[in-house]
Amino acid sequence: MKTPALLLLWGLAALPAAATAAESLKITVANPLDAARPAETIAVPWKDIAHAIHGAQLQHLVVRDSAGHSLAYQVTNIAPEAKDPKGIGIAYGELLFQHDFTAGEKMATFTVEKLAAVAPVFPSKVFARYVPERLDDFAWENDKIGHRTYGPALAAPDVEKRGKEVLVTSGLDVWCKRVGYLVVDRWYNKGHDHYHHDEGEGMDMYGVGTSCGCGGTGLWDGHKLYAGGNYKTWRIIANGPVRAIFELTYDSWTGDGVEVTETKRFMVDAGHQLDQIESTFTAVKGGPEFIVAVGLNKDSSDKGQQPKISFETKPADGALTIWSVQKTNGEIGTAVIVPGAEFQGFAEDTENRLVLAKVTSGQPLRYYVGAAWSKAGEITTPAQWAAYVAAAAARARAPVTIATEAVQ
């Protein structure tokens, strides 16, 4: 026999969702570190939003911090082809927004509420796009730094002997910025010669060639690096304002008796010098476990720059940093972090310094790659760069935790 209290609870559970729907969702984020976490991206599954707030729509929401300030947010669309006859957002993935944790701040709370009016369009701080007008480049950036990599058109031979540039590399390029706004479209529109000179916004001063550039990958046999070629296909999954997500796939290549394909998924967050990448290597032959390397070009400087280059390895963080002081181009730091148990040490070849990782076929390897330029004015010394990378490694090891609660 049910007690009156149990009958009441059973009756409430049996009510339709609309009758018990909450008015808002409370989000509590716990920070396990004592250190500051600027531009921490908070990701809340959309299903939590939809379950708590009946009829929630991505363009009719407001996200507030504990002081009541409205925050920029983004909702990712993981399955744009999905049918949604009930309008409940079944194709949506996550609600994203950011918070600057100060040193010692262990907890932060936020609320998500329905908004009658259409939410404002928030200025984007991230961007990614395919660039067919420049031999199939794929470029991306945030408010701190920019990157690009190279597609099949650049790798194709100059059959017609017209002087077309030919380069086969899976390396990642760096575009150095001194402004917080987006520049990729502006620089491509200015033309190839212009973005190799600093005209007030920054410049492409990083050389890739056949190296790994800033974060390219390959198979490692203990003595030699077998790098992949130019990317084959691209897919953009999300494009701001808080996070850009995209994937690049690569044709198979062989090394150390293993033939693999690779899919790289990039997560580019506003306010960060480093991007998170998940590379999934799938063995076509051999495997199922093998060693891969994530590399940094030993000397990426322009001709005549007479660089003074230093590097540092931190096994406890799975981190490699390089700092290059150039004659007129300023100083640039690059870094790779492999923060997990997959980390297997360091190596080098003639072109690259490498971070090694053990991977399993079909399982993603998570790592972080990025750069900083002294002329941007934020990170200007190798010590500052090493400290930034160490803090990023600590954040990767100790992510924030998120709890949600429906509020009537």
Q: Residue 58 gets which letter from DSSP? A: T
pLDDT tens, position by position, 36-47: 999 999 999 999
63 CB neighbour count, 10 Å cutoff = 23
Predicted confidence at residue 269, as pLDDT, reads 98
pLDDT computed for residue 9 by the predictor: 28
Average pLDDT over every residue of 129-143:
96
382, 310 Cβ separation under 8 angstroms: yes
Better-scored residue on pLDDT, 384 or 54: 384
Span 232-248, pLDDT tens digits:
999 999 999 999 999 99
Whether 169 and 229 have beta carbons less than 8 Å apart is answered as: yes
Judge whether residue 333 has pLDDT over 50: yes
Q: Report which of 261, 232, 263 is spatially closest to residue 247, judged by C-alpha positions.
A: 263
Residues of the chain with CATH 2.60.40.1180: 21-122+400-407
CATH superfamily of 21-122+400-407: Golgi alpha-mannosidase II (2.60.40.1180)
**Token pair 């730091």: residue:** 333
Torsion angle defined by CA atoms of residues 150, 153, 154 and 159, in that order, rounded to the nearest 10 degrees: 170
Work out the pLDDT band at 84, boundaries 50, 70, 90: confident
Fold for the domain defined by 127-377: Beta-galactosidase; Chain A, domain 5 (2.70.98)
What is the pLDDT confidence band of residue 22, given thresholds at 50, 70 and 90?
low
Q: Within 10 Å of residue 246's Cβ, how many Cβ atoms?
A: 20
List of residues 6+ apart from 272 with CB closer than 8 A:
39, 142, 144, 370, 392
CB-based contacts of 340, cutoff 8 Å, min separation 6: 318, 365, 366
Residue 87: the pLDDT is 66
Give residue-wise pLDDT tens across range 275-304: 999 999 999 999 899 999 999 999 999 889
pLDDT at 191 over 80: no
| 273, pLDDT greater than 80 | yes
- Comma-separated ranges of CATH 2.70.98 domains in the chain: 127-377
Bridge partners, residue 66, by sequence: none
